[in-house]
Amino acid sequence: MKRIGIIGSTGSIGRQALDVISRNPDKFEVVFISCNGNLELLKQQGAQCGARYLCSTGLAGEGILSGECEILKILDNEKIDMVLLAAVGAAGTVYAYETVKRGITLALANKESIVASGRILFDAAKRTGAKILPVDSEHSAIFQCLHGQDKRFLDKVTLTASGGAFRNTPADALEYVTLEQALRHPNWSMGSKITVDSATMMNKGLELIEARYLFDIEPSMLSVVIHPQSVVHSFVSFKDGSLIAQMGEPDMRTPIAYAMAYPERMESGVRPIDLAKVGSLTFFEPDMKKYPCLGIAVEVLKKDSNAPMIVMNAANEVAVAEFIGGQIEYRDIAGVISAVLDVCAPSEPEEIADVLSADAMAREASEKVIKRFYR
């Protein structure tokens, strides 16, 4: 049995991971689960999955270990085979690093940690031999498509995107869209932050950067297409003209199960897709006028440097939080990110402390930009 810990068990990915585990009780022992503040759900989950430890990085509660250091103590003192990092945002960076530093397999559903600490994270994994397995549907797809392939013959890696809540909305009609509209994702059920990122397509920009590090692929070989049906989760093409795609229902339990069972497969609760019922699949290029956040991310990717990636990610997190909180408009998100990139230029990080310092610097700059220009 794999001994597993889940960081962010009360979020969308964490809940679905526990559902997969419940379908395969002979394959996993849950050592710990953690949340930030949803203590009641955490207790319910603990009772259902038999987790030995319940942890909270935010609110304190009876019978719950409180504080970030408690998770690190568990990693030090318990035999753990895998950590599923399902927490949202750059807050997951430390957990990702501390997991691989200990040689523990990391099932990664937190794209921001790679964006913020790509080279440092993967250098640590190389030193300890820790595996980093992708959980995002797009990166799981690429991982599966590249399995057994020689990357010397690779031509291009293409990530598919749903296009988010506004894929059918003209660019000039986005001036006054609301939070409620941005949260109406047509295909996926996700948390607020990632759903807004999907609407702006910043999520796809972050995923391009994530793919660059996960698969050690040059930025020029990465691209994005919009695929409204979300059936093809990504595809790769080779120099001989071959193209390999991974397909399936738009259900996160499939990539979650693949990462947790790797190198095997197991029951996920998702049935194979019926292509005859799907009927047709469509693909088209993203409109950069509609998705300026994606354009910003592509330019940052071209720099192939962690420092501007950290700044962009932090500015996006702050801007999205302000939009969700009703403090800025949807159209302001890209403006905030662009302005912060212009004024904030930390040194390239050499260690994880530098990443956290640059992240804090970028968040402070973001607050100043918003206060000066958008309030």
Superfamily of domain 2-134: NAD(P)-binding Rossmann-like Domain (3.40.50.720)
pLDDT at 153: 97
Q: Where along the chain do its domains lie?
A: 2-134, 140-250+280-304, 305-375
CATH 1.10.150.120 fits domain 305-375: no
103-162 pLDDT tens trace: 999 999 998 899 999 999 999 999 999 999 999 999 999 999 999 999 999 999 999 999
Q: How far is Cα 124 from Cα 122, in angstroms, rounded to an integer?
A: 5
Burial letters 295-309, b for 16+ CB under 10 A, else e: bbbbebbeeeebbbb
**Residue 92 is which amino acid?**
G
- 294: tokens are 């994606």
pLDDT at 189: 67
* pLDDT over threshold 90, residue 190: no
Average pLDDT over residues 54-61: 89
Burial letters 103-137, b for 16+ CB under 10 A, else e: ebbbbbbbbbbbbbbbebbbebbeeeebbbbbbbb
242-297 pLDDT tens trace: 999 999 999 999 999 999 999 999 999 999 999 999 999 999 999 999 999 999 99
* Residue 191 pLDDT level (bands cut at 50, 70, 90): confident
166-175, 334-343, 346-355 — which is least confidently predicted?
A: 166-175
pTM greater than 0.85 (yes/no): yes
Intrachain domains 2-134 and 305-375 with the same fold? no
What value does the mean pLDDT of the chain take? 95
- 110: tokens are 């937190």
Average pLDDT over residues 207-211: 96
1-25 pLDDT tens trace: 999 999 999 999 999 999 999 999 9
Element (H, E) at 247: strand 243-247
8-state DSSP, 10: T
* Residue 364 pLDDT level (bands cut at 50, 70, 90): very high
